[in-house]
Structure 1
Amino acid sequence: MVHCMLSSIPPAIRVHPATGVAVWGNQAVNWHVAAHGEKMAQQMRRVYREDHHLPKHATFGDGSQIPDSDIQHILEVLADSENTFAWQDGDVMLCDNHRIAHGRRPFEGERRVLVALAL
């Protein structure tokens, strides 16, 4: 089996460039194997045998494992903080990536999404 790993150690806390407020922001819940659910995590761990062989995973900055329960807790906090709405034709969203955790829910039907990023 061939393994290819990308590695990054970004800060857990960043300073908002406009407000100067310290904000938590990282991608652990997007990359950690436990974010896929318990059954999928078990299957992936059975196939790859060791977490450092997983094709998509996150650890603490020192390389130690983030407990699955920590990832589940973060996902619960995010879900409790979630604000959803029904999109209307012509809606526009402006999102400050430093302040807002944003995501996507499954969608069926036609749509056109245009994205612009600014620093």
Structure 2
Amino acid sequence: MEFWGEEVKAGVPTKVKPHAGCLLHLSQAVLGEAKKDKASEPVLLSVKIDGKKFVIATLKSDSIPQWSFDLVFPKEFELSHNWKHGSVYFTGYLSDAVDEPYPFLYFISL
């Protein structure tokens, strides 16, 4: 296993590509420091894979500043958010891919 992390800045969708033979496990997202006080503004976190975009969480700096996931990606995807006042930090880890695919990965390869 290898730690993985990525800062996704405001207005800058970020492509993520797991190393060959690896799976990327997306584990957590945390709001960074805000440029302005926008505590009540909901922040939508999105993943785009195979041309399809999915909202995976909604954060709020005053009540839900972080969220945990258990999402696994075997190939390139894109992370983005709609927060105009700061960055969102995503963390997780890389693991070796196994010969038998995980049953919960089938939705990713559609």
TM-score (norm 2): 0.26
Query: Greater CA radius of gyration, 1 or 2?
Result: 1
TM-score (norm 1): 0.25
**Structure with larger RCO (C-alpha < 8 A, sep 6+):** 2
